[in-house]
């Protein structure tokens, strides 16, 4: 995760195998090409999630469609090796305090700049993270849309 630390961008973490996906919405203006769109598909391994990313760099919009794998439920024993105790406690508080505590999904969002974690459990539908608006749709698959929307 060191390569993303401090970067002005958002990401999604597959917690059970600590796969980190850069959403690409926060690229500096100098790094984008006007009108450039891109798509990519990434899998986190056998039994893991599949991420479909559609990125409109000119408008700074990223949509990530997540197909759940067989091992999509949060496993605290697996995650202990990746998170400090403070971060793990925070994540457990969010999972235990709301929604389906018996079968929470093993995904969260991260603000790379602040290193703050955000839950992607089904009860969450929107976030404002610094200058980003994030919309979350849950169902058989999860769709996370992030838009760079600074206050003018």
Express each pLDDT in 92-124 by its tens digit.
Answer: 776 664 555 567 888 889 999 998 888 888 888
Where exactly are the structural domains of the chain? 10-148
Q: Compute the distance between CA of residue 113 and CA of residue 110 in angstroms, rounded to an integer.
A: 9
* Encoded tokens for 97: 């305090």
**pTM (predicted TM-score):** 0.84
Q: For the beta carbon of residue 130, count every other beta carbon within 10 angstroms.
A: 13
Is residue 40 within a helix (H) or strand (E), and if so which, with residue range? strand 37-43
Q: Which residues of the chain are modeled with pLDDT < 70?
A: 1-2, 6, 27-35, 94-102
Name the nearest CA neighbour of 72 among 10, 138, 17. Answer: 17
| Residue 22 to residue 13: CA distance in whole angstroms | 9
């Amino acid at each position: 995760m060191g390569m993303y630390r401090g970067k002005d961008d958002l990401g999604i973490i597959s917690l059970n195998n600590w796969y980190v996906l850069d959403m690409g919405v926060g690229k500096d203006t100098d790094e984008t090409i006007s009108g450039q769109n891109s798509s990519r598909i990434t899998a986190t391994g056998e039994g893991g999630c599949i991420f479909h990313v559609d990125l409109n760099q000119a408008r700074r919009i990223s949509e990530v469609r997540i197909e759940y794998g067989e091992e999509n439920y949060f496993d605290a024993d697996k995650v202990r090796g990746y998170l400090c105790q403070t971060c793990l406690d925070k994540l457990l508080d969010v999972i235990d305090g709301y929604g389906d505590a018996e079968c929470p999904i093993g995904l969260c969002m991260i603000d790379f700049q602040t290193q703050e974690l955000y839950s992607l459990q089904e009860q969450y539908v929107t976030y404002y993270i610094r200058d980003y608006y994030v919309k979350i749709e849950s169902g058989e698959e999860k769709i996370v849309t992030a838009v760079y929307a600074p206050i003018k």
